[in-house]
């Protein structure tokens, strides 16, 4: 390590610059306390949520507690949701194909190559 004589004003300026860029130990300790408090708060909230989930799990009806009409409604709802998802997937795939065709037409028009002429 090498020691160099440095004027007091420069040394003070450098220390002030370092102090302004770095956090003090007391501020760092306070940040740690705040972070610990936040972690403890989140831990309490998680424990409350877990107890609520357990309460809801214990309160839900079992498979044998569902009436025949409710079972039919649930099955119909599930079937309709599946059919809707399948139909929507088809619509989205068709939309992608339409936009790809539009992009191809724009690219042909921009390049000056007519490609196939439309019927109309």
DSSP 23: -
pLDDT of residue 16: 85
Q: What is the pLDDT of residues 29-54, one digit of tens each?
A: 888 889 999 989 989 999 999 999 89
Q: Backbone phi, then psi, for 5, in 5-degree steps?
A: -75, 130
Tokens matching residue 46: 């998680």
Q: Taking the chain, what is the end-to-end CA distance rounded to the nearest angstrom?
A: 86
> Residue 9 has what pLDDT?
92
Alpha-carbon gap, residue 37 to 49, rounded angstroms:
18
Q: Whole-model pTM?
A: 0.38
Q: What pLDDT digit, counting tens, does each position of 49-103 carry?
A: 999 989 888 877 666 667 888 889 989 999 999 999 999 999 999 999 999 988 8
């Amino acid at each position: 390590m090498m020691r160099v004589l440095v004027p007091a004003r420069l040394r003070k300026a450098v220390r002030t610059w370092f102090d302004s860029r770095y956090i003090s130990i007391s501020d760092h300790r306070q940040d740690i306390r705040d972070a610990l408090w936040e972690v403890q708060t989140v831990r309490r909230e998680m424990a409350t949520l877990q107890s609520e989930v357990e309460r809801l799990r214990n309160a839900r009806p079992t498979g044998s507690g569902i009436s025949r009409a409710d079972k039919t409604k649930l099955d119909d709802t599930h079937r309709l949701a599946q059919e809707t998802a399948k139909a929507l997937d088809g619509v989205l795939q068709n939309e992608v194909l339409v936009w790809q065709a539009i992009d191809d037409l724009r690219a042909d028009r921009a390049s000056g190559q007519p490609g196939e002429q439309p019927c109309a």
